[in-house]
Amino acid sequence: MTEQDPGDDVQTTGTELEKIVSRLHEDNENLRDRLKELLQIMESSMDDLVEAEVERDDLQRRLDVLLSHPLAWMKHPFGATSARWNQRRG
């Protein structure tokens, strides 16, 4: 049996630790990149959601006007364009 020098174990352990640190650093960078991608997707989804909510609120407002003024519906049954035109005229 041969005896190993304790310095060899330390050397091997140091090399293994360097590999582990390097791998962890790469994993960390990959996770940061993925987080950036996910944040961009989330921001885009939030923008779409805000647009949809604005459109929904606009449609709800138009529906409320039409329901509160039945004659408006009779005059402008497909009146999205006409209603906008009337709003501009005052």
Q: 51 vs 79, which has greater pLDDT?
A: 51
This prediction has a pTM of 0.50
Tell me the per-residue pLDDT of 27-67, one tens digit each, with 9 for 90 and over.
Answer: 999 999 999 999 999 999 999 999 999 999 999 998 888 78
Domain assignment present for 33: yes
**76 within domain boundaries:** yes
In a domain, 2, yes or no: no
Domain-located, residue 27: yes
Domain of 68, in residue numbers:
7-89
Q: Are 83 and 90 in contact (CB under 8 A)?
A: no
Residue with more model confidence, 14 or 82: 14
d(Cα 67, Cα 50) in Å, to the nearest integer?
Answer: 25
Whole-number Å distance between alpha carbons of 34 and 44: 15
Work out the burial of residue 84: count CB atoms within 10 Å of its CB; fewer than 13 is exposed, 13-18 middle, 19 or more buried. Answer: exposed
Confidence of residue 1 (pLDDT cuts 50, 70, 90): very low
Q: What is the pLDDT of residues 63-73, one digit of tens each?
A: 888 788 777 66
Q: How many domains is the chain partitioned into structurally?
A: 1
Domain contains 67: yes
Residue 1 placed within a domain: no
CB 30: neighbour CB atoms within 10 A? 10
State how far the Cα of 32 lies from the Cα of 47, in Å rounded to an integer: 22
